[in-house]
A and B are shown apart, each in its own frame.
Chain A
Amino acid sequence: MMGFFRSKAFRRLKRNKIAMAGTICIILMFLVALLAPQIAPHDPFRTDFFHTLEGPSRDHLLGRDDLGRDVLSRIIYGTRISLNIGFISVAIGLVVGLPVGAISGYYGGKLDLIVQRLVDIMMAFPGMLLAIVIVSVMGVGLVNAMIAVGVVSIPTYIRLVRGSVLSVKNKEYVEAARALGVSDKRIIFRHVVPQCLAPIIVQSSLQVGTAILWAAGLGFLGLGAQAPVPEWGAMLSQGRGYIRTAHHVTTYPGLAIMLAVLGFNLLGDGLRDALDPKMDK
């Protein structure tokens, strides 16, 4: 890992202003999530029925929601939830998709054929649709929404890892390792997979953004986080009934989602350019 910070790729990434903007955005999100109790001006769960739907004021910078709760504080606490969603669902996709894709690509043959047909079948469902169906089977809720979004990303990882493994597995150094009698498991995970990390890292960064977006969508449909959890999508869905009179309840959580997704997308794009081997000259 330390090697990365001294690599050409990292220097290229540092020079890419847009990617750096994304990184700063992500670092800020982490700080906000970490320091939520210190930064949040109010208790995100404290209701106040005498001041519902109040617009932004000096004391409540982004106004109050339909139960009189402080919108800014809820968004601040929501950062924790969204980051969790992003990283946990990517972890689910990686933990299943990486080994399956690597083994499928490395061994080929019948196993590969079966795995690829299974991937075809999973990819036959539009992603969001599959997530909705999984949530409805497992039951509505934040944790199940995270799992659903993670599961949906598995076939993408399998394809990606398989493709990279295929391009590496016949290289001379792999044959050399095989000739030396190194075990398949060791070859796959110590010699082949590390060579395929670049596309996996790029995909994972973009996937964190996608996961945040989709989980917010599930929350918006009432299939994800439930009240009173301050999840951004669910907040938006709660506020939409008041769009005519108090649009701040919907506008700001949406902005938060957009900035979060933007951050991870910018970093992902930057990483793609930086890790592109064509740039190594």
Chain B
Amino acid sequence: MSVYILRRMLLLVPVLIGVAIIVFGMVRMLPGDPARAMAGLHATPDYVEHVRSQMGLDEPLPVQFGIFIRDLMRGDLGRSTRTRRPVVEEIWPRFINTLQLTAIALALSAVVGIGAGLISATRPYSLYDQVSMVLSLFGVAAPVFWLGLILMLIFSVQLGWLPSSGRGTLWHFILPSVTLAAHSTALIARMTRSSMLEVLKLDYITTARSKGLSENVINFKHALRNALIPIVTILGLRFGLLLGGAVLTETVFSWPGVGRLMVDSILARDYPVVQGSVLLLAVLFVLINLLVDILYAFLDPQIQYE
């Protein structure tokens, strides 16, 4: 097992290097001149050149990449061209906000999704099952930003129950996290249902039943454990989609997260911040996937670790 985990971690190295190259390359391909942006609108050409050499932008690309990696190792992502503050300081608090939102949404979709799927699977084709499966079809198809606006319209504009934007109290979490979780909840519910139905057909469940075990013991102790295996993989993949959805959710609810920061920075051509946010989100996603693979190995003893 530890060999498997080690091998899986070694595989990360080329991926992380590739991610760094892509982020570095893309930011260099972005339209506009970062030195001019940094120097300001009214800077003299001499000063722009000065800033350019200060930022290392007059060096050949491989040297620039070397500098980029060296600074990265030190946790230095440069300075924002808009606020002049270090990118790390700009991104970090917003990153925490995004992480909170996605973590809550992930937990919500796991609990509600698995729960709803389980109930559906234990009484297939019942009214409950049919209603929840139709709901989940719509949940998968509804655009997250539209759902957010509709929930906002109902619960904050018309009913006045919940705040429509910003953060502060726990109440502020409800609409954004429900919005973000909807798509994943729907998918997980469908996955759980089909996975459980699949497992419940197997021989060992029939054996358990013939031993006279109660339905609850069979469902929760025997079937769920095996049914969860594909769901765990999905949960990991969902995290990436949640991060993407977070950009949209943050925009709808004016949530000060890193996704919104990234889009704002793209529109304002604040490329150091774009670079930093993309890098951070990609690395996070890679690490989550690693975690999922390891978890998967624990859950499924059939995986071979050569």
Given contacts A137-B26, A258-B141, contact A240 B149 (CB under 8 A): yes
Bitwise, A108-123 to B at CB < 8 A (1) or not (0) is 0000000001101100
In the complex, chain B residues 256-306 whose Cβ is within 8 Å of any chain A Cβ: 262-263, 266-267, 274, 278, 281-282, 285-286, 289
* Alpha-carbon gap, A221 to B138, bound state (A): 22
Closest chain-B Cβ to A116's Cβ sits at a distance in Å of 10
User: Is A125 within 8 A of B143, CB to CB?
Assistant: no
Interface footprint category on B: 35 or more
Whether, in the assembled complex, B116 has its beta carbon less than 8 Å from a beta carbon of chain A, the answer is no
* Alpha-carbon gap, A266 to B143, bound state (A): 16
The answer, among A117, A136, A243, for a CB contact under 8 Å with B18, is A117
The answer, among A120, A217, A244, for a CB contact under 8 Å with B145, is A217
In the complex, chain A residues 224-281 whose Cβ is within 8 Å of any chain B Cβ: 233, 236-237, 240, 243-244, 247, 250-251, 253-254, 257-259, 261-262, 265-266
User: Is B137 within 8 A of A265, CB to CB?
Assistant: yes
* Alpha-carbon gap, A237 to B252, bound state (A): 9
User: Is B150 within 8 A of A254, CB to CB?
Assistant: yes
Given contacts A243-B152, A258-B138, contact A126 B243 (CB under 8 A): yes
Given contacts A243-B149, A254-B150, contact A128 B141 (CB under 8 A): no
User: Is A128 within 8 A of B247, CB to CB?
Assistant: yes
Given contacts A124-B286, A125-B282, contact A136 B30 (CB under 8 A): yes
Whether, in the assembled complex, A209 has its beta carbon less than 8 Å from a beta carbon of chain B, the answer is yes
* B residues near A266, Cβ cutoff 8 Å: 137
* Alpha-carbon gap, A258 to B144, bound state (A): 10
Whether, in the assembled complex, B240 has its beta carbon less than 8 Å from a beta carbon of chain A, the answer is yes
Whether, in the assembled complex, B245 has its beta carbon less than 8 Å from a beta carbon of chain A, the answer is yes
The answer, among B29, B251, B278, for a CB contact under 8 Å with A220, is B251
In the complex, chain B residues 59-98 whose Cβ is within 8 Å of any chain A Cβ: none
A-side interface mostly? helix
User: Is A121 within 8 A of B244, CB to CB?
Assistant: no
Whether, in the assembled complex, B111 has its beta carbon less than 8 Å from a beta carbon of chain A, the answer is no
Closest chain-B Cβ to A88's Cβ sits at a distance in Å of 19
User: Is B281 within 8 A of A243, CB to CB?
Assistant: no
Whether, in the assembled complex, B19 has its beta carbon less than 8 Å from a beta carbon of chain A, the answer is yes
* Alpha-carbon gap, A99 to B11, bound state (A): 25
* A residues near B251, Cβ cutoff 8 Å: 220-221
User: Is B22 within 8 A of A243, CB to CB?
Assistant: no
Whether, in the assembled complex, A213 has its beta carbon less than 8 Å from a beta carbon of chain B, the answer is yes
* A residues near B140, Cβ cutoff 8 Å: 261, 265
Whether, in the assembled complex, A132 has its beta carbon less than 8 Å from a beta carbon of chain B, the answer is yes
* B residues near A222, Cβ cutoff 8 Å: 263, 267
* B residues near A221, Cβ cutoff 8 Å: 247-248, 251, 263
Whether, in the assembled complex, B142 has its beta carbon less than 8 Å from a beta carbon of chain A, the answer is yes
The answer, among A223, A237, A253, for a CB contact under 8 Å with B266, is A223
* Alpha-carbon gap, A216 to B30, bound state (A): 23
* Alpha-carbon gap, A240 to B16, bound state (A): 38
* B residues near A220, Cβ cutoff 8 Å: 143, 145, 248, 251
Given known contacts A129-B282, A132-B266, what 10 new A-B pairs fall within 8 Å (CB)?
A: A121-B14, A125-B278, A125-B285, A128-B247, A133-B274, A136-B30, A220-B143, A223-B266, A258-B146, A262-B141
The list of the 3 closest CB pairs from A to B, nearest first, reads: A128-B244, A254-B146, A121-B18
